[in-house]
Amino acid sequence: MPLTLPNLPYAPEALEPHVDTATMNIHHGKHHNAYVTNANKALEGTPFADKDAVWLITHLDQLPADKMGPVRNNAGGHVNHSMFWQVMAPAGKGGGGTPSGALGEAINKAFGSFEAFKEKFANAGATRFGSGWAWLCVNKDKNLEVCSTANQDNPMMGKDIAGCGGTPILGCDVWEHAYYLKYQNRRPDYMAAWWNVVNWAKVAENFAHALAGNAWYEVKKTADGKFMFNLKGGNNEVVLTSETYNDLASCNAGIDSVRKSAQDTARFDVKTASNGQAYFVLTASNGQTIGKSEMYSSPAAMEKGIQAVQRASGSTWVEAV
C-alpha cells in the first residue's frame, strides 16, 4: 500500500497562539502531503512500493541508487512529520507542562534537569544551519541523547547518513516553513513557544516503546551454509527462531515479514508441548509459518514473548553475526 497522509490529531487552529493556523494548514496539507506524494512517485512500480516508511528510511542502502535521494528526503519527511503532529497537543489540553515518571527521571539523569534538557534541545535546533530537526533520542545503550539532523534526515537512518543515531521520541521541525509566517527569522522564539504544545504523555509512550523496541534481529549463517534469524528481546533472550533460508536476501525478507506481521496481521498460534510447556508459532497472513518461539514455562511468560515480537517492529537493528 502506498504511503498516506495521516490526519492531524487535532484541529489546525488548536495549537494557537504558539503554532498558528495558517502554518499548520500549509505545513500539513501542502508540505507533508508533498513528501507523501513524492515518496510514492519515486517508488511507484518498484518492489518497494508497499514498504512502510520506517522500513524505507532504515534500508536506504537496499534501494536502487537513483531512489535513495528521493526516498531519504520524502519518506524521511513523511516519518518526521508523522511523529511531529503526534508529539504536539493543544496547550493545557495535553500540551505543555513537564515530563514525569520514567521519562522525567531519564531526562534528569541524562541532562541534570528538565531546564538543562530544554536548553540543550533548543540549542540543537537553533544551531542547525539551514533546514532540519532537533531530536530527543534513545540511543543503543537506552540512554537519552539530544541531536539535530539536516533536511529530512532521521536518526533511525543511522549515524553514517544522518550524523546521529538512535530512536527518536521527540522531534521539533526547525525548517522555516514550520515557523516563518508567525515568527519570521526568530527560530529561538518559535522553539521557546513550542514547549507549550509538547505532548509529554505521547513522548513518554514513545520512550516506553523505544526502550522495549531494543529487540533486534540476529542473522546467522548455519553450518550447512543456510541462513536463519533469531528475534532477541531487550535483555537478549531469544523470542523467536526462524526457519532456515537458502540465501541472505530471503532471510532478510523473512525479517521484514515478521516486522510487518507483528504490525498488521500477526497470527500468534499458541501451542502446548508434551512436557506442558507453551510456545507460539508466528504465521504470516498468507498462511506461511515464519517461525516458532522458544519454550515458555507459563502462559504469562509466553505472553511477554508475544508482546516483545509486537514491540520490536518499527525499531530494530539488524546485525549479522
Whose Cβ is closer to Mn ion: residue 153's or residue 173's?
173
Whose Cβ is closer to Mn ion: residue 23's or residue 257's?
23
Own/partner contacts of 101-110, CB < 8 Å, gap of 24 or more, are 101/204, 102/204, 102/207, 102/208, 103/200, 103/203, 103/204, 103/207, 106/143, 106/144, 106/207, 107/144, 109/143, 109/144, 110/143, 110/144, 110/145
Burial of residue 176, with CB atoms counted within 10 A of its CB: 0-12 exposed, 13-18 middle, 19 or more buried? middle
Residues 72-111 interacting with Mn ion (rule: CB under 5 A):
none
* Residue 173 binding Mn ion, by CB under 5 A: yes
* Total binding residues toward Mn ion, as defined by CB under 5 A: 2
* Residue 153 binding Mn ion, by CB under 5 A: no
Q: Minimum CB separation from Mn ion for residue 147, in Å?
A: 18
The DSSP secondary structure of 128-180, one letter per residue, reads S-SSEEEEEEE-TTS-EEEEEEETT--GGG-HHHHSS-SEEEEEEE-SGGGTH
Residue 278 corresponds to which amino acid?
A
Q: What's phi and psi for 146, nearest 5 deg? A: -105, 135
Q: Minimum CB separation from Mn ion for residue 88, in Å?
A: 12
Contact stretch for Mn ion (CB under 5 A) within 165-173, 275-283, 284-292, 309-317: 165-173
Contact stretch for Mn ion (CB under 5 A) within 149-157, 171-179, 236-244, 312-320: 171-179
* Residue 52 binding Mn ion, by CB under 5 A: no
Q: Minimum CB separation from Mn ion for residue 133, in Å?
A: 8
Q: Point out the residue whose Cβ comes nearest to Mn ion.
A: 173
* Residue 145 binding Mn ion, by CB under 5 A: no
Whose Cβ is closer to Mn ion: residue 111's or residue 175's?
175
Whose Cβ is closer to Mn ion: residue 145's or residue 173's?
173
Q: Minimum CB separation from Mn ion for residue 132, in Å?
A: 10
Are 138 and 109 spatial neighbours (Cβ–Cβ below 8 Å)?
no
Contacting residues toward Mn ion, per CB under 5 A? 173, 175
